[in-house]
Structure 1
Amino acid sequence: MGITSALVLFAVIWWLTLLIVVPIKLKTQQDMGTVTPGTQSGAPEIHHLKKKLLITTGIAAVLFVIIAGIIVSGWITVADLDWFGRGTPAPR
């Protein structure tokens, strides 16, 4: 795995993890009972974004090490994921 593919893999894992972590313990304006006029009631009031970014980075790093290790070791290859036989030539 090259450095570019490693960075792309980490970025994809990081963003997917962030999308899972962000809604956890999110308090909206409606939950707090203080809806500011002109805003949506579902707008975040308390979000703990800095803490969530650190948690996301830690989880993504662990997942990256596991997934990159599997890819680099060759335990699972692209040929293993060829479920429909597209990589094999058609019989004549």
Structure 2
Amino acid sequence: MRWQSALAIYFLFWAFCVFLVLPFGVRTAHEAGGELVPGQADSAPHEFRPGRIALRTTIVATVLFGLYYLNYVNGWVSVEMLDWLHPAT
């Protein structure tokens, strides 16, 4: 695999993991004991920390990409294993 392909696939893992990680660790103003700003939704997060989200996303994406790359090198799961409509006899 070329490094450009690996970088593009890592970026896709990272973009997917943003949505995977985003809901975890979020506290509303009511849960944090803060005041609501007029017009603010009750479910809005109390504090938005993009650095923490980026760090968590990078960790999860790196682990998932590592598993993907190990599967690519070792061939643990192949396309033939996932073809249930036309099983090999």
Q: Is TM-score (shorter-chain normalized) higher than 0.5?
A: yes
- List runs of 5+ in structure 2 lacking aligned partners: none
Q: Counterparts of 1:6 and 1:73 in 2: how far apart (Å)? A: 16
| 1:27/1:47 contact within 8 Å kept | no
| 2:34/2:46 contact within 8 Å kept | no
Q: Which structure has the bigger radius of gyration?
A: 1
How many residues were matched structurally?
A: 87
| 2:27/2:46 contact within 8 Å kept | yes
Secondary structure of 2:78's aligned partner: coil
Q: CA RMSD in A?
A: 2.4
Q: Write out the 4+ residue segments of structure 1 that deviate beyond 6 Å after TM superposition.
A: none
Q: Where does residue 38 of structure 1 map in the other structure?
A: 39
In structure 1, give the amino acid aligned to 2:46.
E
- List runs of 5+ in structure 1 lacking aligned partners: none
Q: Normalising by the residue count of structure 2, what TM-score does the alignment of the two structures yield?
A: 0.72
Give per-residue Cα distances to partners, 1:38-85, cap 9 Å, x unaligned.
Answer: 221211122332122112102211221121120232232212211111
Q: Normalising by the residue count of structure 1, what TM-score does the alignment of the two structures yield?
A: 0.70
Aligned-residue sequence identity (percent) comes to: 31
User: Alpha-carbon deviation of 1:2?
Assistant: 4.2
Q: Hey, which of these two has a bigger chunk of strand by percent?
A: 1
